[in-house]
Amino acid sequence: MSSLTILAILAVAGIVAFFIGRMRSIQVCGGRQRNLHSRPSYYGYYLAILTALPAVILLAVWSVAERPVTKYVAMQELPPTVLQGTDAEKALTMSVVDSIAQGLPKLGPEEYEVLRKARFGFVTSSDARDVLAKHGVVLGSDPDRSLLAAADELASARATSRLWLPIACFGLAALGFFWGYTRIRPELRSRNIVERVMRSGLFLASTVAVLTTVGIVLSVLFETIHFFQFVSPMDYFFGTVWDPRFATVGKAEGQFGLLPLLWGTLFISAVALLVAVPVGLFAAIYMSEYAGSKVRAFAKPVLEILAGIPTIVYGFFALSVFGPLLRDIGGNIGLDISASSVLTAGIVMGVMIIPFVSSLSDDIINAVPQSLREGSYGLGATQSETIKKVVLPAALPGIVGAVLLAASRAIGETMIVVLAAGIAANLTLNPLEPVTTITVKIVSQLTGDLEFNSPQTLVAFALGLTLFVITLGLNVYALYIVRKYREQYE
């Protein structure tokens, strides 16, 4: 019986238990619900939880533990020569064992007998190989006796596990059900119990989110530390040349200077902000202060669609339309613009983040209380004076926050840059030349043949951490500003 079937059955059992529990509670109070501590459905939930929850937890633990435990049992059969080998060799052996073990249940009784004999040396292992081949398990060479033994143990351990899992789960469910059933009495505080379980569930969910973040950061951090054992932090943080070479050429021969990448990232982001901030801000002002409700109802969603376009599509656009266009325009006025350049990537990225700036700023401008505007009108200020002198200053901190959030979006952007700015790490002040960014280099260091012990690969983690720290800093600061601004009007 597969875990999924067991889960489904437990779910049904839980639902049934809910109704039984509810009925039981009405029964024990003799129909007078006022005597019950909690409303009947809480008794239903109580019984359902007792029935299903422990069993589901058992199922989950069992399913996770099954693999390592059975594998451990099988490994006992392998000779020490294998066990002392490298991880890769062990993994290879285990995969052979695994494939034999998967074939075993398909064998008929006689065939299985052949295998048992081969295991203990009564027939040759090539006989066993033939038998297995008949059932689709093709082995490259005659299996060692120890391999057969391990596979045999593995298969039987699995069979045992499969046999006992449903028994244990259903047994636990039944136990929980009967125990809970006898405990249902009018004075049982089922609501408190159910709510406590709910709260633990919610708590668990938030813990998962937090732990994932911590886990990601830690794993990147460890790999980064690993990287710095190859390359000194000085060379990384202050190096001006990015030239990692290939992993196969030799260890630590390349140069891993962060500066060209950081520069490219910041340069492109700056161009993007230069495009997005004025356009986005003016759009927001128009939307919130001047546009009639009809225009607003139409234009605001359209603007927000911009934010939903996948960035790779912006990349296409930059590569196939905007880059060449810019090059041609440059050619006409005597500027030598390469098809992929800071300018192309920056402008297209700017278009991409316009919606972030505009929709956040729009919200913030709308949050400026109408009473402030009226106060200003009441003093004889015109609408534009009111916007300039009252609304925008009041909204400014929030708008700065919006821009910072947009900036961190721009800094983390990859696809547009790959397609529109190129992959050449240049330390240049000229916006018409190609540069590249941190994200692009992370991608290129992690594609192709990987060797996780070379600085060429590990540098990706260092870059990732760098990027993470930058955007995290920006986000925290932005959120701090936005929040401070919100409080002002509460």
Partner 1 sequence: MEAKVEDRPAARVETPAVPKESGDAAPAALGELKMKAKDVNLWYGQKQALFDVNLEIFDQSVTALIGPSGCGKSTFLRCLNRMNDVIDICRVEGDIRLEGQDIYAPQVDPVQLRARVGMVFQKPNPFPKSIYENVAYAPRLHGLCANKTELDEVVETSLIKAGLWEEVKDRLDQPGTGLSGGQQQRLCIARAISVNPEVLLMDEPCSALDPIATATIETLIDELKENLCIAIVTHSMQQAARVSQRTAFFHLGKLVEVDETSTIFTNPTDQRTQDYVTGRFG
Interface residues toward partner 1, by CB under 8 A: 292-293, 369, 371-382, 385, 389-390, 393-394, 488
**By the 8 A CB rule, do 260 and 435 touch?**
yes
Burial state string for 208-222 with b = 16 or more CB within 10 A and e = fewer than 16: eeeeeeeeeeeebee
Cα 54 to chain centroid, rounded: 29
- In whole angstroms, the minimum distance from the beta carbon of 378 to partner 1 comes to 4
Closest CA to 184 of 13, 31, 29, 33: 29
Question: Judged by CB, which is closer to partner 1: 395, or 419?
Answer: 395
Nearer to partner 1, 359 or 376 (CB): 376
CB of 399 to partner 1, least distance (A): 14
Nearest to 340 by CA among 326, 350, 353, 352: 326
Give min distance, CB of 291 to partner 1, in A.
Answer: 11
Class of residue 311 by CB neighbours under 10 A (exposed 0-12, middle 13-18, buried 19+): middle
Instruction: Report the residue number, 221 or 372, with the smaller CB distance to partner 1.
Output: 372
Question: Closest separation between CB of residue 380 and partner 1, Å?
Answer: 3
Q: Considering the complex, state which of residue 212 and residue 371 has its C-beta at the smaller distance from partner 1.
A: 371
Say which residue the tokens 């009925």 belong to.
23
- What is the smallest separation between the CB atom of 400 and partner 1, expressed in angstroms? 15
Kindly state the smallest distance separating residue 488's Cβ from partner 1, in Å. 6
> Which CB atom, from 16 or from 392, has the smaller least distance to partner 1?
392
The answer to whether the beta carbons of residues 184 and 24 sit under 8 Å apart is: yes
Long-range interactions of 174-178: CB distance < 8 A, separation 24+: 176/50, 176/51, 176/52, 176/53, 176/54, 176/55, 177/13, 177/17, 177/47, 177/50, 177/51
Taking the complex as a whole, the smallest distance from the CB of residue 381 to partner 1 amounts, in Å, to 6
Closer residue to partner 1 (CB): 238 or 489: 489
Q: Which is nearer to partner 1, 315 or 397 (CB)?
A: 397
| Nearest residue to 471 (alpha-carbon basis) of 415, 414, 404, 422 | 404
Rounded least distance, CB 357 to partner 1, Å: 22
Task: Please give the full DSSP string across 445-485, using - where no structure is assigned.
Answer: HHSSS--TTSHHHHHHHHHHHHHHHHHHHHHHHHHHHHHHH
Nearest-approach distance from CB 359 to partner 1, in angstroms: 23
- The nearer residue to partner 1, 387 or 407, going by C-beta atoms, is 387
The answer to whether 146 touches 116, Cβ cutoff 8 Å, is no
CB 418 within 8 A of CB 345: no
Residue 338 has what DSSP assignment? Answer: -
- The distance of closest approach from Cβ of residue 294 to partner 1 in the complex, given in angstroms and rounded to an integer, is 11
Q: Are 435 and 422 in contact (CB under 8 A)?
A: yes
Angle in degrees, CA 224, 229, 232, rounded to 5: 90
Rounded Cα–Cα distance for residues 346 and 164 (Å): 61
Dig out the tokens for 254 from the structure. 């390349």
CB of 447 to partner 1, least distance (A): 51
Dist. CA 24–CA 78, nearest whole Å: 56
Residue 51 or residue 288: which is nearer to partner 1 going by CB?
288
Judged by CB, which is closer to partner 1: 75, or 291? 291
